[in-house]
C-alpha cells in the first residue's frame, strides 16, 4: 500500500494549506463546498504525482499501453473511492473529525458526473479501476460532455428531464491540458497529389474545431498505480468573436463559432440502445476518436519515434462498442497520409492493434449511418472505408458456395449505409461478447458470417464489477463484517470471498449478515423519505429492479406482478405474503414513449397501492427518482431480491445482477445474460429462476404461433384482470389510463413475452418471498451469493482482456 500521508498531522497541515490557497480562507472560515473542493484538489494533486511516476515507470519498462476508447465513462463520485484506494479513508475521516468536519458530508457534496447512460458506461469505469489495480498502463479515452445524462424528476408520475449541470461548481479532479489540444476537421473535400511517384491524399476546405483534453486521475486500489482518463471537450479552433455584430446587439451571432464548436461536446445522447442518425453524434464519435488517436500516437512518437512496425507490440486500442468504430480508419489515415506508409503495411498494424467488444444484439442498437451524411462530414475517412470495403469484397472466393450471403451480411457499405458493427469487426483482431450466452448468440446469429470466416477472432469476456466501489465503498458495514471473518485480502483478490463459505454454518455470523442488511435498508429508507417523502419499512423485504427502462428488461412484468398481488390481496383472503417493498429506479430515453409510460404506470400503481389501507402493511411500491451511481450505491446494499427478468436472449450480460449478488441479494431471474453464470456459480437452489429459456423463446418464434389473446382468454381471473386494470380507471387517477401499454401487449401481441412468463415469474417470486420467513436459511443463501460472487470482479475480467486480447 502506497501511502500519501504519514499521519493525521501531515494531512491536516497540507489540507489547511490547500484550503487557504484555493479559497483564500482559513479552514474554519471555509464553507462545506469549499472544504470539499479543497480536499478533492489535495487528493487529486497527490494522485497526479503518482500518475506521473506510473507513466515514467511504464516507459522505463516498455510496458504495453492500453487505450480504452469509450463514448461513455460513468465514473461516479471519486473522493470516497480514492481515499479507500489509497488506504487513507480512516485517517482522513479521523483528522476531519478532529477539525470538526464530517467526511461523509463532504463526500456528499461531490457532483456525480453522468457521462454515461447505464451498464456500458459503468463497465468502462469499472475497467479503469481494475486496470489501475492490476498495474496495467491503461487509459480511458472519452468525451467531456458539458451536460451529462439528464436529471430525472417525477412529476405526477411522469418522467421529466432536466439538464444536469455537473460542471457549474467546478470539477476538482480534472486538469485542462491546453498544451495537448488537437485540431479536428469536418467536411471539405479530398485532394490527391503525386509525391515521389505516390498518391498523397489530404482534405481541403474542412472546418476545424479544437479538441481540448481534460485529464482525470484513476487511482488503483493499493495506490501503487495511478492512470488517467482523458476526456475531450470541443472548442472553436480560432476565436472569431465578431465585435461589430456584438455592438449591434446581436450577441448570439457575434459568438456563433464558439456555440457551434461547443455544441459537439454539449450533451450526452440519452439513448442507451437504438436511435441514431444525428449528425452531432457522428461528430462526437469522430472527435474523440481522432483526438484520442492523435494523442496516443504523440506519446508513442515521444517514446519510440516512428517505429510503426512495432506499434501493436506497444499499444492496444480497445473499442467499447461501435461508437469508436472509426479508430481503424482514422489510424489508417494517419499512417497513410501523414506517415507515408503503404496500405498493406498500415492495414496489418491497424488490425493487430485494434480490438472490439460488442454489447448488444438488439438490431435497432447496431449503429448505421447514411453514406451521404457520413461522406460529406468525413470525406477522407469515408474514402478509406470504401477501400477497406472494396478489399473485403475482393477477398471473397466467388467460386465458393454461399459466398454471396457471407458478403451481404459482412459488408461495411450496404443499402446506402455505413454499418459500424461490420467496420469494427473487420478492423479488429479480436471480437468479444460480454457473457457466455451473449457470445454464443453473436457467433450463431448476429455475427455468424464473420464467425464462419474467422472463428479464432471470437472470444468471450464475461463482464465484471469493481468490488472496491460496489462492496467496500457502497456497503461498509457488510464489508467490515466480511473482513472480520476472512481478512481484507478480498479487496485485492475477490476470489477470497469464497473463504466465507464455512461461515454459512455459523449462526451468530448469519445473524450479523442479517443485521447489516437491516442497517442498509434503514439507510435507504431514510434516503427515500428525504427524496420522495415516502415511508418504507426496513422490516419488509426489499425487492429491487434498478436499471434503464427498456421493453426487453420487462419492468412491465414486474409491475404486472405487483398489480396481481394487489388484486389478490384485496379480494382473496387466502393470499399470504411476507411484507414487501417493491423498489424501482431507472431512466428512460427521452424519446422512448413506451418505456416512459411504464415509468408512469409504476408511479400510478404506487399512488393507489401505497394509499390503500387494506394492503398497506403488506406491500409498498417505491420509485426512486434519478438513478445514478451515487444512489445505486445506497440501493444495492439494501436489496434482498434482485430482479433480473429480461426476455431470454435479450440482455447481453447485465451488471446490476453482479452488484446485487455481491451485496447478498438473491437473483429472481431468467436464464439470460450473466444470470446463467450466476446460477452456475451459486447454484440454482440459491436463486429464483423462472421463465422461458433462450432456445424455448427461439422455438416459439420459429413456430410463430404465439397469441397473447389465448393466454388472456385462458386466465381471466388473473392475467385478464391485470390487463383490464390498465384501462378501466383503477390506476388512472394520477394522470390517465394506459391504453398504449395495453395495445403493446394485446394488439402488438406481447413482443417481450410478458404474459407468457407471467405465471412462472409470480410463482418464483412467491417461493422466494415465503422463503424469507426463515431468516437463518435466507441469510445463509445471501452469504453464499456473496461468497461465490468474487469471480465477477472486474479484476478477473480485465486479466482476461490483458492475457487474451491485449497481450499487455
Choice between 592 and 772, CB closer to ligand NBG:
592
- Distance in Å, CB of 161 to ligand NBG, minimum: 19
SS3 789: helix
- Distance in Å, CB of 365 to ligand NBG, minimum: 5
SS3 599: helix
Q: Exactly one of 89, 151, 457, 547 is catalytic; name it.
A: 547
Q: At what angle do helices 32-60 and 8-23 cross, to 10 degrees?
A: 110
SS3 270: coil
Q: Exactly one of 314, 323, 659, 802 is catalytic; name it.
A: 659
State the cell numbers at 344.
Answer: 498493406
Q: Let me know if 359 is a catalytic residue.
A: yes
DSSP characters for 492-522? T-GGGGGGGGGGGG-HHHHHHHHHHHHHHHH
Residue from 209, 207, 252, 267 nearest 234 by CA? 209
- Distance in Å, CB of 73 to ligand NBG, minimum: 13
Q: Exactly one of 64, 318, 553, 561 is catalytic; name it.
A: 553
- Distance in Å, CB of 653 to ligand NBG, minimum: 4
Q: Exactly one of 462, 655, 670, 786 is catalytic; name it.
A: 655
Choice between 110 and 651, CB closer to ligand NBG:
651
Task: Specify the residue for cell string 500519501.
Answer: 4
Choice between 227 and 655, CB closer to ligand NBG:
655
Choice between 335 and 435, CB closer to ligand NBG:
435
Choice between 602 and 658, CB closer to ligand NBG:
658
CB 143 within 8 A of CB 232: yes
Q: Let me know if 659 is a catalytic residue.
A: yes
Alpha carbon separation from 329 to 230, 278, 298, 347 (Å, rounded): 21, 21, 18, 9
Q: Let me know if 283 is a catalytic residue.
A: no
Q: Which residues contact 242 (CB under 8 A, 6 or more apart)?
A: 253, 254, 255, 256
Interacting residues with ligand NBG (CB under 6 A):
118-120, 123, 272-273, 321, 359-360, 365, 434, 463, 651-655, 673
Q: Let me know if 368 is a catalytic residue.
A: no
- Distance in Å, CB of 652 to ligand NBG, minimum: 4
Q: What angle do CA 654, 76, 490 make, to 5 degrees?
A: 70
- β-bridge mates for residue 368, sequence order: 419
Residue-wise burial string across 165-199, b where 16 or more C-beta atoms lie within 10 A, e elsewhere: ebbeeebbbbeeeeebbbebbbebebeeeeeeeee
Choice between 439 and 626, CB closer to ligand NBG:
439
- Distance, in Å, from the CA atom of 767 to the CA atom of 627, rounded to the nearest integer, reads 29
- Distance, in Å, from the CA atom of 369 to the CA atom of 388, rounded to the nearest integer, reads 17
Helices marked H in 395-506: 403-410, 420-427, 436-441, 448-453, 467, 476-486
- Distance in Å, CB of 397 to ligand NBG, minimum: 34
Choice between 338 and 364, CB closer to ligand NBG:
364
Choice between 461 and 784, CB closer to ligand NBG:
461
Q: Exactly one of 314, 318, 359, 802 is catalytic; name it.
A: 359
Residue from 80, 99, 77 nearest 88 by CA? 80
Q: Let me know if 655 is a catalytic residue.
A: yes
CA atoms within 13 A on the CB side of 276: 22
- Distance in Å, CB of 267 to ligand NBG, minimum: 18
How much is the CA Rg of the chain, to the nearest whole Å?
27
Q: Which residues contact 391 (CB under 8 A, 6 or more apart)?
A: none
Choice between 123 and 536, CB closer to ligand NBG:
123
Q: What angle do CA 391, 353, 463 make, to 5 degrees?
A: 110
Residue from 627, 621, 587 nearest 731 by CA? 621
- Distance in Å, CB of 408 to ligand NBG, minimum: 24
- Distance in Å, CB of 590 to ligand NBG, minimum: 16
Strands 207-219 and 226-236: antiparallel
SS3 734: coil
- Distance in Å, CB of 84 to ligand NBG, minimum: 24
Q: Let me know if 278 is a catalytic residue.
A: no
What DSSP character marks residue 69?
E
Task: Specify the residue for cell string 458495514.
Answer: 477
- Distance, in Å, from the CA atom of 669 to the CA atom of 693, rounded to the nearest integer, reads 11
- Distance in Å, CB of 119 to ligand NBG, minimum: 3
Residues acting as catalytic residues = 359, 547-548, 553, 655, 659
Amino acid at each position: 500500500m502506497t501511502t500519501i500521508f504519514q499521519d493525521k498531522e501531515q494531512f491536516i497541515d497540507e489540507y489547511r494549506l490547500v484550503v487557504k490557497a484555493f479559497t483564500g480562507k482559513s479552514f474554519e472560515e471555509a464553507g462545506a463546498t469549499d472544504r470539499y473542493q479543497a480536499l478533492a484538489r489535495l487528493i487529486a494533486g497527490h494522485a497526479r504525482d503518482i500518475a506521473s511516476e506510473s507513466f515514467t515507470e511504464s516507459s522505463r519498462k516498455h510496458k504495453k499501453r492500453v487505450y480504452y476508447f469509450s463514448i461513455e465513462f460513468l465514473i461516479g463520485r471519486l473522493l470516497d473511492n480514492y481515499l479507500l484506494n489509497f488506504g487513507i479513508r480512516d485517517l482522513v475521516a479521523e483528522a476531519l473529525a478532529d477539525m470538526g468536519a464530517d467526511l461523509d458530508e463532504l463526500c456528499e457534496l461531490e457532483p456525480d458526473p453522468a457521462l454515461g447512460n447505464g451498464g456500458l458506461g459503468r463497465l468502462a469505469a469499472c475497467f479503469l479501476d481494475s486496470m489501475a489495480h492490476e498495474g496495467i498502463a491503461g487509459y480511458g479515452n472519452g468525451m467531456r460532455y458539458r451536460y451529462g445524462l439528464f436529471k430525472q424528476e417525477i412529476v405526477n408520475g411522469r418522467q421529466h428531464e432536466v439538464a444536469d449541470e455537473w460542471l457549474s461548481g467546478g470539477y476538482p479532479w480534472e486538469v485542462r491540458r491546453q498544451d495537448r489540444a488537437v485540431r479536428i476537421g469536418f467536411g471539405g473535400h479530398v485532394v490527391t497529389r503525386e509525391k515521389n511517384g505516390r498518391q498523397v491524399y489530404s482534405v481541403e476546405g474542412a472546418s476545424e474545431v479544437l479538441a481540448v483534453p481534460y485529464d482525470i486521475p484513476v487511482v488503483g486500489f493499493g495506490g501503487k498505480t495511478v492512470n488517467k482518463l482523458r476526456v475531450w471537450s470541443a472548442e472553436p479552433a480560432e476565436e472569431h468573436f465578431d465585435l461589430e455584430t456584438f455592438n449591434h446587439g446581436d450577441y448570439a451571432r457575434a459568438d456563433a463559432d464558439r456555440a457551434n464548436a461547443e455544441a459537439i461536446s454539449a450533451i450526452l445522447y440519452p439513448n442507451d440502445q437504438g436511435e441514431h442518425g444525428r449528425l452531432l453524434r457522428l461528430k462526437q464519435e469522430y472527435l474523440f476518436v481522432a483526438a484520442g488517436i492523435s494523442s496516443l500516437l504523440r506519446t508513442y512518437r515521444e517514446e519510440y519515434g516512428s517505429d510503426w512496425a512495432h506499434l501493436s507490440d506497444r499499444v492496444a486500442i480497445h473499442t467499447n462498442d461501435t461508437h469508436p468504430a472509426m479508430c481503424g480508419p482514422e489510424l489508417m489515415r494517419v499512417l497513410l497520409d501523414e506517415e507515408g506508409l503503404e496500405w498493406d503495411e498500415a492495414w496489418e498494424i491497424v488490425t493487430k492493434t485494434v480490438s472490439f467488444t460488442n454489447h448488444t444484439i438488439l438490431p435497432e442498437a447496431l449503429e448505421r449511418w447514411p453514406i451521404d451524411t457520413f461522406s460529406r462530414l468525413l470525406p477522407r475517412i469515408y474514402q478509406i472505408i470504401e477501400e477497406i470495403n472494396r478489399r473485403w469484397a475482393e477477398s471473397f472466393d466467388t467460386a465458393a458456395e454461399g459466398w454471396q450471403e457471407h458478403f451481404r451480411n459482412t459488408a461495411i457499405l450496404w443499402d446506402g449505409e455505413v454499418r459500424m458493427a461490420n467496420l469494427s469487426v473487420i478492423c479488429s483482431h479480436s471480437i468479444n461478447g460480454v457473457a457466455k450466452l451473449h457470445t454464443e448468440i453473436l457467433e450463431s446469429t448476429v455475427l455468424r458470417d464473420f464467425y464462419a470466416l474467422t472463428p479464432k477472432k471470437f472470444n468471450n469476456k464475461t463482464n465484471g464489477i469493481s468490488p472496491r466501489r460496489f462492496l467496500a465503498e457502497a456497503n461498509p458495514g457488510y464489508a467490515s463484517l466480511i473482513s472480520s471473518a476472512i481478512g481484507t485480502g478480498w479487496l485485492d483478490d475477490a476470489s477470497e470471498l469464497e473463504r466465507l463459505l464455512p461461515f454459512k454454518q455459523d449462526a451468530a455470523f448469519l445473524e450479523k449478515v442479517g443485521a447489516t442488511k437491516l442497517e442498509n435498508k434503514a439507510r435507504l429508507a431514510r434516503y427515500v423519505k428525504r427524496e420522495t417523502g415516502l415511508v418504507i419499512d426496513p422490516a419488509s423485504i426489499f425487492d429491487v429492479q434498478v436499471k434503464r427502462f427498456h421493453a426487453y428488461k420487462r419492468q412491465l412484468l414486474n409491475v404486472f406482478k405487483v398489480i396481481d398481488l394487489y388484486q389478490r390481496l384485496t379480494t382473496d383472503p387466502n393470499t399470504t405474503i411476507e411484507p414487501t417493498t417493491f423498489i424501482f429506479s431507472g431512466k428512460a430515453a427521452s424519446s422512448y414513449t413506451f418505456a416512459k409510460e411504464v415509468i408512469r404506470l409504476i408511479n400510478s400503481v404506487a399512488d393507489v397501492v401505497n394509499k390503500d389501507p387494506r394492503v398497506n402493511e403488506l406491500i409498498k411500491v417505491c420509485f426512486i427518482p434519478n438513478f445514478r451511481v451515487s444512489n445505486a450505491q445506497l440501493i444495492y446494499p439494501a436489496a434482498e431480491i434482485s430482479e433480473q427478468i429480461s426476455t431470454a436472449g435479450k440482455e447481453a450480460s447485465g451488471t446490476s445482477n453482479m452488484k446485487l449478488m455481491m451485496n447478498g441479494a438473491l437473483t429472481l431471474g431468467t436464464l439470460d445474460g450473466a444470470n446463467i453464470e450466476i446460477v452456475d456459480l451459486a447454484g440454482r437452489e440459491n436463486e429464483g429462476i423462472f421463465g422461458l429459456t433462450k432456445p424455448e423463446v427461439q422455438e416459439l418464434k420459429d413456430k410463430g404461433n404465439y397469441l397473447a389473446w389465448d393466454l388472456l382468454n385462458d386466465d381471466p381471473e388473473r392475467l385478464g384482470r391485470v390487463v383490464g386494470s390498465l384501462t378501466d380507471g383503477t390506476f388512472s387517477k394520477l394522470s390517465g389510463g394506459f391504453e398504449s401499454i395495453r395495445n403493446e401487449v394485446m394488439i402488438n401481441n406481447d413482443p417481450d413475452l410478458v404474459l407468457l412468463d407471467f405465471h412462472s415469474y409470480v410463482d418464483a417470486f412467491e417461493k422466494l418471498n415465503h422463503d424469507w420467513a426463515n431468516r437463518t436459511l435466507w441469510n445463509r443463501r445471501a452469504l453464499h451469493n456473496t461468497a461465490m460472487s468474487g469471480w465477477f470482479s472486474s479484476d478477473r475480467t480485465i486479466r482476461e482482456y490483458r492475457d487474451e486480447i491485449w497481450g499487455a
